[in-house]
Amino acid sequence: MADVDGGIRARVVGRTLRFLVGVALVVEGGRHLVGTTATLIAQTAGVVLGEVAFYAAVHLVIDRYLKRLNPWIGAVLAVAPVAAVYLLSDAPGRLGSLIFVGVSLVLTAIRADGGCEVMTVPGMFLGKRTHLVCVAFSPVDWAEETWAERGARAHPANDSD
C-alpha cells in the first residue's frame, strides 16, 4: 500500500516483525556494551552516528537524482554498506551496525514504513519515505496486503443499511 508521499506502508504483521527484530538487535548490541569501557561505547556511538549521516546523504541522492532506481536494486545497494561495516569491522563497527539497524527497524515499525529500514531515520528528518523495498520484510507486507484485499472482496461492506 503506497502512502501519500510515495513510500510504502506496512501493515500489522510486518510492523510487528520489524519491531521485534529491531528490539532483538538493539538488545544484542547493547548487552555487549554493558560494563565495557567508555571508549568502546563512544566508538560504537560514532559508528551509529556515521551510519545515520551516510544514509542521510544516500537518501538525498536517491530522492533528488535516482527516483526511478529499481526498488530492489536500490535496497540491496543501500543495505550493502551497513552489512559491509558489520562483516568487515571489529567490535565498534559490528555493535554500531547492529544498533543502527535495530533502532531503524523499531522506528520503521512505529512509522509503519514498508520500505528499506536503513532509510527510515533520514526519511524522518527529511519528511519522506523511501521507495526502496525492504529485502526481508516487503514480501511479508505484500502478502499481508493481498490477504487484506481478498478479505475485503470476500466480505464487502453492506451499503444497504
pLDDT at 83: 97
Please enumerate in sequence order all residues whose Cβ is within 8 A of that of 129, keeping only pairs 6 or more positions apart, or say none. 3, 5, 6, 7, 8, 111, 113, 115, 123
pLDDT at 5: 46
Q: Beta-carbon neighbour count of residue 79 at 10 Å?
A: 19
pLDDT digits (tens, 9 = 90+) for 29-57: 999 999 999 999 999 999 999 999 999 99
Cell of 16: 510487528
Among candidate residues 138, 145, 144, the one with its CA nearest the CA of residue 18: 138
Residues of the chain with pLDDT under 50: 1-5, 161
| Rg of the chain on CA atoms, in Å | 18
**pTM listed for this prediction:** 0.86
